[in-house]
Structure 1
Amino acid sequence: MFGEESIMPSYVRIPITNINMDGDYTGVVTVGVGESAKSLNLILDTGSSALAVSDKKYSPVLGTGTAATNLGQVESYGDGSSFAGAVLRDTVQIGDVTGTNVPLAVAYDATDSMFRGADGILGLAYQGLDDAFLLPGVTWPEKYTPSQIEHGKRTTVVPCLMQLANEGLLLEKMAFRTRRSFVRVGPTPGTDPLNEGTFILGGGEEATDLYTGTFQTAAVLADDWYSTNLVSVGIGDQQFPVSSRPQAGMPTNSIVDSGTNTLVLGPTIINRILSVLPTAQQELLKRSMGGTLIPNTDLDLSKWPTLSFTLQGISGGHDVTLQVPPENYWQLDAGQAGQAIAAISPAQADGGAILGLPLMNGYYTIFDGTAGLGVIKFATPK
């Protein structure tokens, strides 16, 4: 609790772009102090929890504000990317808020796909996903191999946003206004407003210029990912229930994830969507999911159905039905000018739907971890 004379936590608002990662959004975060401080483009990911930067972009100098620890991290992601690195306690600045003693992994062993056009990743989910391993000696500037790290004693570290909240700087919540799942290709994609967005750390409701009306509130049911219960899926005016049974390793049957630029759906949902579509639309969607670019001119989006996803609401509230119009699950001028990509990816198994940017792009979305397991709030964007 904050005393009467305490200043309530502020919130930070920064511009974000999908240009660096060709879909996923990045924002600028400064790490380190003094001459070694670097402003880096970090992926903003509610589907993971580690704060990690590439050692090719940041070489920490131990001293005031930057300290070594005996912790190492090995993290793997759903797209097959991974990194191994040393955990430091460092100074991190986002907007005008500066946190000290923030756990930061310096990744010195990473797959090529890990950071791509970004400099690192800012995981925004819960501590349960922020695995680390305690080792006999300091992990920086020494560099343990991934296998050596994984032989340490498993523990977790405090994610960045939780640490900033612990320091009394920000509330444990954030908001996104995004518009695209893939970069809109054109003469000047870097200045195209559709490739830009806004990220708010420590707040959300205050930004009334970004949304209108009231919020729909979905329940978060586990403190790892922003884990939700997908109740049903709609294709046009047809609704069908979804089994609440999660796939192995998942606490619930779905998550909402800013770090995934498609709707990742299991075979049952994919097949139900396909079964409702006319044959010509079925073939276009199958071709795109198979990796083929589709000419914009082959798509009359006015004839495609709106998809809807109903998530379990909070206790005492209503379930939340969120719409994904064809303009959001098809991305025109993606990959190449004049070509389109379906932002729908088939998963191998049911029970692990990832509701990524195609869902979020239709809403102003707040991820609020300040009470209990948290909630996700959706409002109509301006």
Structure 2
Amino acid sequence: MRPASRQWLRPSVRPLRGEQTSVDTSTSPPVLVTGTTGRHGSTGAHVAARLRSEGRQVRVLARRHSERTKQLQAMGAEVVTGDLHRRETITHALDGVRLAYFTYPIDAGVVSAAANYAAAVQESGAEVRTVVLSMGPAHPAHLSDRGKDQWLAEEILRWAGLDVLVLRVAAAFHENLHVLHGPSVRERRVIRNCFGDARVSWINGKDAGELAVSALLHPERFDGPVCYPPGADEASHADIAAMITDATGRPVRFEDIDRTGWRQDLLDLAATDPTGVINADMADHISAVGWSIRDRGPTRPADREEVRRLIGHEPVSLGEFIARSRDAFLDGGTAAETDGAGGTQDVQDSTATMQASRTGSQNTSAGVGAAGR
């Protein structure tokens, strides 16, 4: 077995604007990106689009062709069909790759996926530096079984001697609000869950993707091989109910319930969820996370300045997200038509959003100083 290395410290790829490099990105090896058809946060699609905007060659591993992969192909990405549970397809996708992005949905199977990926990298014989987008609950003693599975999957990658940088993002995605609470806000004007009055750390799904892009292109910004990027904002769900009230002009309240009650609410929602994001695994996981944060608090407090330093621009605030997607909380709205909900429009918007964010951060840098699945 190859010894675990700290190659992630070696800046071997193209830095962001203002930094110098000798890498010719037009002829550099492709970056392998998984999770591009994910429906929660859309981090994989955002990573692929952003890498293309930086001039990187991108190879997408997808189980099937879709509107999302067509959008990525139009941006110049190479799409190969394969599955993280079929080692031989991963081996094929890794041909010529030296840099990869690994992510997996909140669902059973991440341990098997990691084992297959590790075996494929070993079989390739190449030194592939891998950035793993993980979560704060990845811990062997966490209340969530999916958190335990994620931790074990990461251990497998490290035991295999792979060169990994694991980003255990210590924040909930803004997009959770649409997926988990949009229907109840629209129908009954209520947010129900088991977080209690705990203040939760929050990050936008695209900014989580930006953390991964930064880790791929600028590993020296991160303390690794395992690190805990924070969220950009903190707010309780009662605070969020008040923010939605202000944005929509309709009163929304927060109702505190126990873990079992929220899990059942989520299972009921899964039965009618057209996006397929909510399932039994998600219901078990997020209700366990809520109960844990209620009892112990977040893994790490929010730190907006740290997120800005890591991604190189101003992160999206929770208030901005709610204001921009207010229609998702009104009668007739759906999560699928809002920002960051996983549609093909997210792929088209990624480069434009990034360019606007950079412009904004440059305009404000004199006042605030230059530069969280």
TM over 0.5: no
TM normalised by structure 1 equals: 0.28
Which structure's CA Rg is the greater one?
1
Greater RCO (CA < 8 Å, at least 6 residues apart): 2
- Structure having the higher strand fraction is 1
Q: Which has the higher helix share?
A: 2
**TM-score computed with the length of structure 2 as normaliser:** 0.28
